[in-house]
């Protein structure tokens, strides 16, 4: 295990240029951003029902609801382009005023859960293509995997939001350490993303003998790409083209969808990079005329 970890972080003997070339080629062949668009659609449908459930729960916890909303608004201002951030905050205000209970909350939860599960299913499909394996798990194994990954991502996301909420609370109490606390927020976000990506790359694709790793080069690449693309999209939308002439009042929706699109693309690119490294060290599938090979060596 230690040797395989070392090989993975030494890129399996590949140079940076070779790894980049192979990853770009595989991303093109596997239609990474087409699959990212499918994932973005379902995640867009899941975001706001999940927020409504979060606000409904936090409303019953003393002194948490208002602060949680403030922390989320601050996070969206840092991450999303300005128009998308304003859209997000406006919808959060409306959701906060119309929290539901009983049958209405159940229907909202059902809709959000359906969208989230489909988003994870699309991610499983995309990572299977990235690792060049066919989906041969039984329907119940696949269902358990999709549900488990969905709830895992929800828990990690909730923990990250809670830690950012704690940082915002401390920042309001102690004004002197604003820069340090802001850096801590981004560190929490980066660590949460890296760990989440590592879990996705281990359990989402149909890999039989893959070892658990706390992090991978692909996960690190996905985090760097996500942060870079987040700042790049903000600069583009705020200083080059804000889409207001093309989409009018829908420009915030378009920006949010495009941000989700590039974010999901970053996840799949990280999987493609891991796959290329593992091919080169003989742990994964071999690049032989597009034929798939499972861990026992039989071709599919």
pLDDT given at position 284: 44
DSSP at 211: P
Q: What mean pLDDT, rounded, does the chain reach? A: 78
Check pLDDT > 90 for residue 146: yes
| CA pair distance 154, 26, nearest whole angstrom | 29
For residues 81-93, give the mean pLDDT: 77
pLDDT given at position 169: 66
pTM of the model: 0.79
The band of 193, judged by pLDDT with boundaries at 50, 70 and 90, is: confident
pLDDT given at position 173: 67
Please tell me the least confidently modeled range out of 88-92, 168-172, 236-240, 257-261: 168-172
Tens digits of residue pLDDT in 99-123? 555 667 777 778 888 999 999 999 9
For residues 57-84, give the mean pLDDT: 71
| CA pair distance 165, 277, nearest whole angstrom | 38
| CA pair distance 127, 125, nearest whole angstrom | 6
Most confident of 1-5, 85-89, 143-147, 182-186: 143-147
pLDDT given at position 110: 85
| CA pair distance 41, 114, nearest whole angstrom | 12
Calculate the alpha carbon distances from 59 to 46, 62, 96, 255, 298 in Å: 20, 7, 9, 29, 55
Check pLDDT > 60 for residue 300: no
Contact 174, 77 (CB under 8 A): no
Q: Where are the domains of the chain?
A: 2-280
Check pLDDT > 80 for residue 34: yes
| Phi, psi angle pair for 63, to nearest 5° | 65, 10
Q: Tell me which of 62 and 190 has the higher pLDDT.
A: 190
Long-range contacts of 54-60 (CB under 8 A, 24+ apart): 54/158, 55/92, 55/95, 55/96, 55/99, 56/99, 56/100, 56/101, 56/105, 59/99
| CA pair distance 3, 187, nearest whole angstrom | 29
| HSE value, Cβ hemisphere, 13 Å, CA-based, for 45 | 18
Which two three-digit tokens encode residue 61?
Answer: 């916890």
């Amino acid at each position: 295990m230690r040797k395989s970890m070392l090989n993975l972080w030494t890129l399996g003997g590949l140079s940076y240029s070779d790894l980049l070339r192979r990853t770009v080629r595989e991303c093109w062949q596997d239609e990474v951003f087409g699959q990212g668009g499918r994932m973005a659609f379902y995640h867009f449908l899941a975001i706001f029902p999940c927020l409504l459930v979060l606000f409904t729960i936090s409303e019953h916890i003393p002194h948490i609801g208002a602060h949680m909303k403030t922390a989320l608004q601050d996070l969206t201002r840092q991450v999303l382009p300005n128009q998308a951030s304003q859209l997000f905050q406006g919808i959060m205000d409306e959701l906060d005023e119309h929290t539901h209970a009983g049958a209405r909350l159940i229907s909202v939860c059902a809709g959000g859960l359906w969208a989230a599960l489909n988003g994870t299913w699309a991610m499983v499909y995309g990572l299977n293509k990235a690792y060049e394996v066919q989906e041969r798990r039984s329907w119940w194994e696949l269902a358990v995997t999709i549900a488990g990954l969905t709830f895992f991502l929800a828990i990690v996301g909730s923990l990250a939001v809670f830690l950012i909420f704690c940082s915002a609370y401390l920042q309001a109490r102690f004004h002197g350490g604003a820069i340090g606390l802001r850096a801590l927020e981004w560190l929490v976000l980066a660590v949460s993303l890296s760990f989440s990506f590592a879990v996705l790359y281990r359990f989402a694709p149909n890999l039989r003998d893959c070892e658990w790793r706390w992090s991978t080069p692909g996960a690190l690449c996905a985090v760097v790409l996500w942060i870079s693309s987040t700042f790049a999209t903000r600069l583009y939308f705020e200083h080059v083209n804000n889409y207001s002439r093309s989409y009018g009042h829908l420009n915030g929706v378009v920006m949010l969808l495009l941000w989700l699109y590039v974010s999901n693309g970053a996840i799949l690119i990280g999987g493609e990079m891991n796959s290329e490294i593992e091919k080169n060290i003989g742990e994964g599938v071999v690049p032989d005329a597009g034929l798939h090979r499972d861990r026992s060596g039989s071709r599919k």
